[in-house]
Amino acid sequence: MELENEKQLNFIEQIISDDLESGRVQEIITRFPPEPNGYLHIGHAKSICLNFGLAEKFNGKCNLRFDDTNPEKEEEHYMEAIKEDVRWLGFQWAKLCYASDYFEQFYRWAVDLVKAGLAYVDHQSPEEIRQTRGTLTEPGENSPYRNRDIEKNLELLQKMRKGEFDEGECVLRAKIDMSHPNINMRDPVMYRILKKAHYRTGNLWCIYPMYDFAHGYEDAIEGITHSICTLEFADHRPLYDWFLENVDIPSRPRQYEFARLNLSYTVMSKRLLLGLVGEGIVSGWDDPRMPTIQGLRRRGYTPSSIRKFCQEIGVAKSNSMVDYELLEHTIREELNAKAQRVMVVLHPLKVIIENYPDDAEELIKYQNNPEDPSMGTRMVPFSKELYIERDDFREDPPKKYFRLAPGKEVRLKHAYYITCREVIKDEWGNIVELRCEYDPESKGGETPDGRKVRGTLHWVSAPHGVKVEIRLYDKLFTLKNMSEMEEGKNYPHYLNPHSLEVLSESVAEPVLKEAQPGDRFQFLRQGYFTVDSDSTPDTLIFNRTVALKDTWAKIQNKG
RNA sequence: UGGGGCGUGGCCAAGCGGUAAGGCAAGGGACUUUGGAUCCCUGAUUCGGAGGUUCGAAUCCUCCCGCCCCAGCCA
């Protein structure tokens, strides 16, 4: 089975496999190169799993490198959060690197390019540069500064570095071809002047390298063999190669592109995510509805479920939109095997067992996880007064309704069979209580006569129950593909008003008093829940990670 | 109308000239002290389209169509 798995390589694995076989490389080194200007999301997780996964699979190494070449956007706390997220996902980097550590080397290579007549200082304004770049169908025009002599360029570049020019006054440009059909090759900017303090280099520099100029060199310095990035950089590959081919470098990396992840009903763009946080639509970057690593973590996703998901979606070059159901499936699959089953009544309805002794109580033996008997059993208190789910009773039950109704019998999980004898209502006709009768013979959930009951309900003993807060989460947006918003509408038009529902009357069985933030449970017949970081021993808060599959809901929806 | 990339069932995705893997979703059934889980079964006569090469094409060639990306001193 594993052999087949190894045979089925994605296109990048095939390239690596071939490179190793042909001897083009002895050992592979990859890297995950985030810019510390925001929090990581599930799309980054795909890249992380790919890069670190490749290193693991081929016995190579993977670096974590901060691509911190823009002091205007980058901050230390993002860097720390990114490191934590990568570790949480379960990966260890071979080296922790920073593009900003290479600034001096970048400068030397820039000087080399100037000396080779391949770069020049341009005094055109940003607008002039834009205007002379040409368009998709028309070539650009050469800058009037393009043919300055080398000595002059060297001198000007030094002045740029020394801070003798203001921001925007000039840039260093690569001298390639202003009529190149690939716009990226039309004398791209290498250095711009930014008189801003950098979070790591402080005020040491006032010129900062552009991505295209820097990235290949970062890879070359670290000995990266396979530099993997997303599809939109494919157009930049000729430039990546150009910079590497025109100076002396310690190693020759190659760039490969794959399709970034899109997930239905959510967005991956940092801008939109930032908007959700900034406008208070979500509580923060770690809001459990966010597709961020921190959001998923708080929602209750495990690192292994996210890794599994990334493995399942595959790696290819076609733009794709993955159903969020696949993400849900991976966490259900894992938690089904591992999570302790526990009973919590989300919307309580009181039940009085009329023929149960008034002050009696007993302990019911309860299986912690039928999928894993080694998880053992525990004792759950039972008494005359219980809560069941409001939804588990219908005064006028529809067809195929297996739950409680007047005169009908159901099983209380692991406890007894009960039959509803009377419905108590308040003055407005709302059902406030059920009077039931239990069968003492049915203890444990079966009777000597072997009669069958279709419905099995979860329950909580009222005097023993613990009041808890439950946060029910759902999709953030109502539109499956958020890149297909209608004209004139933007993302606020598509917010799901039911993405968060807070229940404050829920009642849990007493074991949950011991639950710690991050613990995960299956609430029987409801779904998987985790203890939220806001939770305290006095007010326990549970987040719903994902609901259980609900076949009954499906039957109902069909009419 | 320049350049680059991509088109395999509802969503991903294998396939690399020898007769369409797998997962998710969907539907049907079995089982069930979670209407959970599990287990069976069903679904592309067909690979964006049209030609061509070949004994044989999703795989090779030609043309066409569709979608995505690129005109930051962002990454």
A8 touches strand B (CB under 7 A): yes
Bridge-based pairing state of the strands A500-508 and A466-473: antiparallel
Q: What is the pLDDT of residue A7?
A: 65
Catalytic residue at A35? yes
A173 touches strand B (CB under 7 A): no
Tokens describing residue A137: 């169908």
Percentage of residues of chain A with pLDDT beyond 70: 99
Catalytic residue at A371? no
For nucleotide B6, give the residue with the nearest CA to its C1': A318
Q: Measuring from the CA of residue A185 to each C1', which nucleotide is nearest?
A: B3
Closest CA to A181 of A143, A137, A213: A137
For nucleotide B24, give the residue with the nearest CA to its C1': A326
Closest CA to A542 of A345, A409, A378: A345
For nucleotide B36, give the residue with the nearest CA to its C1': A525
pTM of the model: 0.96
Bridge-based pairing state of the strands A348-353 and A361-367: unpaired
User: CA A105 → C1' B62, Å?
Assistant: 50
CA–CA dist A397, A475 (Å, integer): 30
- Please identify which of the residues A260, A338, A378, A443 carries the catalytic annotation: A260
Tokens describing residue A202: 């402080």
Residue A54 φ/ψ, nearest 5 degrees? -65, -45
CB A111 within 8 A of CB A119: no
- Single-letter residue type at A81: A
CB A259 within 8 A of CB A278: no
User: CA A374 → C1' B20, Å?
Assistant: 43
The domain A344-458 is placed in CATH, from the list 2.60.40.1730, 2.40.240.10, 2.60.40.10, 3.40.190.10, at 2.40.240.10
- Which uninterrupted H or E stretch holds A189? strand A189-193
Q: What is the pLDDT of residue A489?
A: 86
Q: Measuring from the CA of residue A414 to each C1', which nucleotide is nearest?
A: B33
A375 touches strand B (CB under 7 A): no
For nucleotide B73, give the residue with the nearest CA to its C1': A192
CB A154 within 8 A of CB A111: yes
A137 touches strand B (CB under 7 A): yes
- Rounded to two decimals, the ipTM of the complex is 0.97
Q: What is the pLDDT of residue A557?
A: 84
Q: What is the pLDDT of residue A259?
A: 98
Q: Strand B proximity: list residues 459-488 of A with CB under 7 Å.
A: 483
CA–CA dist A438, A64 (Å, integer): 62
Residue A83 φ/ψ, nearest 5 degrees? -60, -45
pLDDT digits (tens, 9 = 90+) for A46-78: 999 999 999 999 999 999 999 999 999 999 999
- Single-letter residue type at A299: R
Residues facing A467 on adjacent strands = A507
Closest CA to A194 of A210, A208, A204: A208
Bridge-based pairing state of the strands A417-425 and A348-353: unpaired
Q: What is the pLDDT of residue A559?
A: 64
Same fold for the pair A26-258 and A344-458: no
Q: In 10 A of CB A231, how many CB atoms?
A: 13
- Please identify which of the residues A31, A35, A237, A341 carries the catalytic annotation: A35
How far from chain centre, in Å, is Cα A40?
7
CB A65 within 8 A of CB A27: no
A150 touches strand B (CB under 7 A): no
- Positions in chain A whose pLDDT score sits under 70: 1-7, 559
User: CA A440 → C1' B25, Å?
Assistant: 44
CA–CA dist A288, A499 (Å, integer): 10
CATH topology for A270-340+468-558 is Ribosomal Protein L25; Chain P (2.40.240)
- Please identify which of the residues A252, A270, A338, A378 carries the catalytic annotation: A270
Tokens describing residue A301: 């996703």
Domain ranges of chain A: 26-258, 270-340+468-558, 344-458
Closest CA to A552 of A408, A336, A444, A394: A394
> CA A456, A461, A462, A468 torsion: positive or negative?
negative
In the numeric block, the tokens 């992380």 are attached to A48
Q: Strand B proximity: list residues 516-535 of A with CB under 7 Å.
A: 522, 524-525
Beta-sheet strand order (sheet of A61-66): A29-32, A61-66, A96-98
Q: Is A376 helix (H, G, I), strand (E, B) or coil?
A: coil
- Which uninterrupted H or E stretch holds A174? strand A171-174
Tokens describing residue A482: 């958020």
A227 touches strand B (CB under 7 A): no
A38 touches strand B (CB under 7 A): no
Catalytic residue at A75? no
pLDDT digits (tens, 9 = 90+) for A87-96: 999 999 999 9
**Strand B bases within 7 angstroms of protein beta carbons:** 1-8, 10-16, 21-27, 33-38, 67-75
Q: Strand B proximity: list residues 242-301 of A with CB under 7 Å.
A: 259, 264
Q: What is the pLDDT of residue A1?
A: 29
Beta carbons within 8 Å of A122's beta carbon, 6+ residues apart? A129, A143, A145, A146, A170, A171, A172, A173, A187
Q: Measuring from the CA of residue A9 to each C1', which nucleotide is nearest?
A: B14
A158 touches strand B (CB under 7 A): no
Domain A26-258 superfamily per CATH: HUPs (3.40.50.620)
How many residues are present in chain A? Answer: 559
A552 touches strand B (CB under 7 A): yes
